[in-house]
Structure 1
Amino acid sequence: MRLILLCVGRCKAGPETELSQRYIERANAAGRALGFPRVELREFDESRAREPALRKAAEAKTILASLSPGARLVALDESGALVSSREFSAFLGKTRDEGAPALTLAIGGADGLSGEILEAASPIVSFGRMTFPHQLVRIMAAEQLYRAMTILAGHPYHRD
């Protein structure tokens, strides 16, 4: 199953980009034997619309247009469910076992994700009730993908 980390907003070269890439590379190495050939990072420019609602609507169109047929969509949003790393790992394994061709994790821009994306997503996952910059959420999502691979593989990286 393909894993796609879809990000509204582009990261500039620097430590945030390097760290997210490091976790993506680790997830790729760990995931191949588990039926996850690679984590693909897709970045889109933030909308330049003047109002937040218009920006979110334009970004939603871009997100929805980029989804592969049959792909599951996971929205990363502060309004979502709080899940443990083991629960997230189990979700990835179950989605793979059900035959989904791809799973897309969507990270919104500065204004977050639109209601249209939140309605299309199942599940909506939160890293906490605080607001985080999208660059940090990208790192956290990449690390959780790597951690999920290690949990599925029985590797000791994750400790309860």
Structure 2
Amino acid sequence: MRIFLGCVGRLKAGPEQELCSDYLARAAALGPGLGLTGFHLTEVEEKNKSAGLKEREAAKLLAAIPETALIVALDERGGAMGSEKFADWIGRERDSGTADMAFLIGGADGLSPQIRERAAKTLAFGPQTWPHMLARVMLTEQLYRAVTILAGHPYHRP
């Protein structure tokens, strides 16, 4: 199963970018033996901040992922999921034949209703509101952690 990350905004050089790159590289190295490939990150930007911004961002995010991808929206209204449950869910989707899974993170104003409605799952990192750039780091770490859990690696110690 290929994993896609679609994110509004571009990470500047710095610790957030370094962490995301590191976690994605680790997941990509371990994933193929588990049937998890890709870990494709696409960043989209919309320079025009006028009315309809979230809809234009949504169009760019959806254009960046396979049309049939199972969409996971990262949104503060979503449900929280522990790391082991998250890994198990990814493994079940992989085993059930899901070819592509796409995690989408909106910009400062969040995701459009269009994406939230299309999402198979809406996920939140707890009840707090997180900056969208930090949410990206948290997502990449959790994807790497999920891969290590599925591989039986000792990285995850509950």
- TM-score normalised by structure 2 residue count: 0.95
Secondary structure of 1:87's counterpart equals: helix
Letter matched to residue 92 of structure 2: K
* Runs (5+) with no aligned partner, structure 2: none
Displacement of 1:133 after TM fit?
Answer: 1.3
Mapped to 1, the partners of 2:111 and 2:47 lie a distance apart of: 12
Mapped to 2, the partners of 1:67 and 1:37 lie a distance apart of: 14
Give the Å deviation of 1:134. Answer: 1.4
Match of 1:129 among 127, 130, 135: 127
Q: Over residues 96-129 of structure 1, what are the superposed CA-to-partner deviations in whole Å (9 max), with x where a residue is unaligned?
A: 1111111000010010001110000010000012
RMSD: 1.1
Identical pairs, percent: 49
Opposite residue 17 of structure 2, the aligned amino acid is T
- Confirm or deny that 1:30 pairs with 2:23: no
Residue 42 (str. 1) matches residue 39 (str. 2): no
Number of residue pairs matched? 158
Structure 1 gaps of 5+ residues are none
Change (3 A) 1:62 1:33: same
Which residue number corresponds to residue 71 of structure 2? Answer: 73
2:110 aligned partner: 112
Q: Is the 8 A contact 1:76 1:106 kept in 2?
A: yes
Q: If the length of structure 1 is used for normalisation, what is the TM-score? A: 0.94
1:61 matched to which residue of 2? 59
**Large movers: runs of 4+ above 4 Å:** none
Deviations 1:37-82 (A, max 9, x none): 221110001352323xx11111111122223132100001110011
Q: Distance in 1 between matches of 2:3 and 2:22?
A: 16
| Matched-pair contact (CA < 8 Å) for 2:6–2:65 | no
Is the Cα contact below 8 Å between 2:145 and 2:155 reproduced in 1? yes
